[in-house]
């Protein structure tokens, strides 16, 4: 089988790009030839690569190349902020491939976030592009519920895969020495910086915690709050979001000044892949005080590393951690500070609890499991019981692409609407 991935790919720094690179390997491990339609040259080894360009001539060349390669499946990794205006070029490519009999799978990474930001136009947009797919994949039940009811028979709900951590190029001890963290308890905020990550709320709560340390016994290890990450680069057309994130980062520095937390709150900037494992080993607790999210790739890094997480009950975070670890009860400074103090009181005990709690998560939800679920032989989501999206009317795509309606047996699509 030939699978064509539509996604950013390394060396571009992008969470979805990293996700897709691992998915490429999983498809290949299943015996597929894998190609890609992407926005820039990639370091991945692929059987076919087409670059999506605003040049009409290059766009046609990319389309002809994809058709000549004759993929069986096109799998789109979709989030509006990932592509920006390039989506106006990508969806026509996907539509033509679908009309030529290629099965279409779309993984929506940020349904709830996009719809909340864009409102009714976002709902209309998702309804339109989702109709291109024979199979829709989302990571949470909330995302499935955000799609039109008539499309839910096509929806496969599978959590974000838990990937092995990147190969380490440094150690926790070296990071402690570099940032003056020896003998200190560490609460870690990790990933791209934006207001929805609740970083300001974490700093406010940490200021309360620092105030409570005054007068404690001298052998109590002082805590540090590490903000490890940078502002996410945005494509043209979405630079106002990047500007807003940079303004937010500036406000975080101002908040540190206001509370006189210099040396207690540490900003590292971008974290190279080779340092991820060391930061997660170093951290006594990873904070996910998100105010809005659908799912979190950072959460899955923590699961892979066995790092304890203290999270809000937002989006898919409650599904992951609600029955496994303590959660943030309130983002109000005093309440959050109490939850953080409890998490830092017994770091070794909390880590042991996390490792035990993650045992079932780390052993499931891999990229290989996801690829297997998306294979034609896996059957439909509804038949497999793989979605909690609930019952819905019969799928109109099944009728329009049934054996009697197609001329190519090689691309036959049954009523089970799978890729």
Alpha-carbon distance of 230 to 245, in angstroms, equals: 9
Alpha-carbon distance of 390 to 220, in angstroms, equals: 51
DSSP H helical ranges for 30-171: 56-69, 80-83, 87-99, 111-118, 120-130, 141-145
Last residue of a domain, one of 362, 387, 403: 362
Alpha-carbon distance of 97 to 92, in angstroms, equals: 9
Q: In this prediction, what percent of the chain has a pLDDT beyond 90?
A: 66
253 plus 124 within the same structural domain = no
pLDDT category of residue 404 using cuts at 50, 70 and 90: very low
* Within-domain flag for 223: yes
Mean pLDDT of the chain: 86
* Within-domain flag for 416: no
Alpha-carbon distance of 133 to 136, in angstroms, equals: 6
Rounded to 10°, the helix 273-282/297-305 angle is 60
Strand 103-108 and strand 185-190: pairing?
unpaired
pLDDT in tens, 191-244: 999 999 999 999 999 999 999 886 555 445 689 999 999 998 877 777 888 999
248 burial type by CB count under 10 A (0-12 exposed, 13-18 middle, 19+ buried): middle
Residue among 314, 310, 335, 338 at smallest CA distance from 324 = 310
**pLDDT, greater one: 397 or 314:** 314
- Our separate counts of H helices and E strands in the chain read 19, 12
356 plus 289 within the same structural domain = yes
308 plus 344 within the same structural domain = yes
* Within-domain flag for 150: yes
User: Taking a C-beta distance cutoff of 8 angstroms, is the pair 402, 159 a contact?
Assistant: no
* Within-domain flag for 99: yes
- Give residue 294's Cα distance to chain centre: 8
Q: CA dist 374 to 3, 17, 370, 418, Å?
A: 11, 19, 6, 7
3-state secondary structure of 175: helix
* Within-domain flag for 200: yes
60 plus 114 within the same structural domain = yes
End-to-end, the C-alpha distance of the chain in Å comes to: 11
369 plus 344 within the same structural domain = no
Alpha-carbon distance of 164 to 174, in angstroms, equals: 22
pLDDT category of residue 399 using cuts at 50, 70 and 90: very low
Alpha-carbon distance of 160 to 370, in angstroms, equals: 9
Provide the number of structural domains found in the chain.
2
**DSSP percent split of the chain into helix, strand, coil, nearest 5:** 50, 15, 35
**Phi/psi at 265 (nearest 5 deg)?**
-110, 125
For 190, the domain range is: 172-362
125 plus 195 within the same structural domain = no
pTM: 0.76
* Within-domain flag for 140: yes
Last residue of a domain, one of 362, 380, 403: 362
User: Taking a C-beta distance cutoff of 8 angstroms, is the pair 303, 317 a contact?
Assistant: no
* Within-domain flag for 167: no
Average pLDDT, integer, range 392-408: 36
Last residue of a domain, one of 343, 362, 381: 362
Confidence (pLDDT) at 257:
97
- Quote the tokens at residue 6: 């539509």
* Within-domain flag for 299: yes
219 plus 303 within the same structural domain = yes
pLDDT in tens, 275-316: 999 999 999 999 999 998 877 889 989 999 999 999 999 878
Alpha-carbon distance of 128 to 135, in angstroms, equals: 14
288 plus 383 within the same structural domain = no
181 plus 265 within the same structural domain = yes
357 plus 375 within the same structural domain = no
396: domain CATH number is 3.40.50.2000
135 plus 202 within the same structural domain = no
**pLDDT, greater one: 387 or 54:** 54
241 plus 353 within the same structural domain = yes
């Amino acid at each position: 089988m030939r699978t064509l991935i539509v996604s950013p790919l390394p060396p571009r720094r992008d969470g979805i790009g990293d996700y897709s690179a691992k998915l490429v390997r999983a498809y290949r491990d299943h015996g597929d030839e894998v190609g890609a339609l992407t926005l820039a040259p990639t370091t991945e080894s692929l059987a076919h690569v087409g670059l999506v360009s605003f040049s009409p001539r290059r766009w046609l060349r990319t389309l002809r190349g994809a058709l000549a390669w004759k993929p069986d499946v096109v799998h789109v990794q979709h989030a509006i902020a990932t592509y920006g205006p390039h989506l106006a070029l990508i969806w026509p490519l996907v539509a033509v491939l679908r009309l030529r009999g290629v099965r279409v799978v779309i993984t929506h990474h940020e349904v709830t976030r996009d719809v909340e930001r864009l409102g009714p136009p976002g709902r209309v947009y998702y309804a339109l592009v989702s109709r291109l797919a024979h199979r829709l994949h989302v990571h949470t039940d909330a995302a499935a519920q955000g799609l039109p009811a008539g499309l839910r028979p096509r929806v496969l709900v599978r959590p974000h895969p838990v990937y092995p951590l990147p190969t380490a190029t440094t150690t926790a001890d070296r990071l402690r020495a570099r940032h003056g963290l020896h003998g200190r308890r560490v609460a870690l905020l990790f990933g791209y910086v934006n207001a929805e990550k609740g970083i300001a709320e974490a700093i406010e709560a940490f200021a309360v915690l620092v105030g409570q340390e005054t007068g404690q016994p001298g052998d109590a290890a002082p805590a540090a709050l590490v903000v490890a990450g940078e502002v996410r680069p945005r494509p043209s057309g979405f630079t106002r979001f990047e500007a807003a994130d940079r303004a937010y980062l500036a406000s975080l520095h101002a908040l540190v000044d206001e509370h006189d937390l210099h040396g207690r709150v540490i900003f590292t900037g971008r974290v190279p892949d080779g340092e991820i494992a060391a930061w997660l080993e170093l951290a006594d607790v990873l904070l996910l005080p998100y105010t809005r999210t659908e799912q979190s790739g950072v959460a899955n890094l923590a699961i892979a590393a066995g790092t304890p997480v203290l999270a809000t009950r937002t989006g898919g975070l409650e599904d992951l951690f609600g029955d496994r670890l303590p959660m943030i009860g309130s983002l109000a400074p005093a309440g959050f500070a109490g939850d953080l103090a409890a998490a830092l009181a017994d770091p070794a005990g909390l880590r042991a609890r996390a490792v035990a709690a993650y045992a079932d998560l780390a052993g499931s939800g891999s990229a290989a499991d996801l690829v297997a679920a998306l294979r034609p032989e896996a059957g439909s989501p509804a038949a497999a019981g793989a979605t909690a999206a609930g019952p819905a009317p019969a799928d109109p795509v099944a009728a329009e692409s049934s054996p009697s309606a197609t001329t190519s047996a090689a691309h036959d699509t049954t009523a089970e609407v799978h890729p």
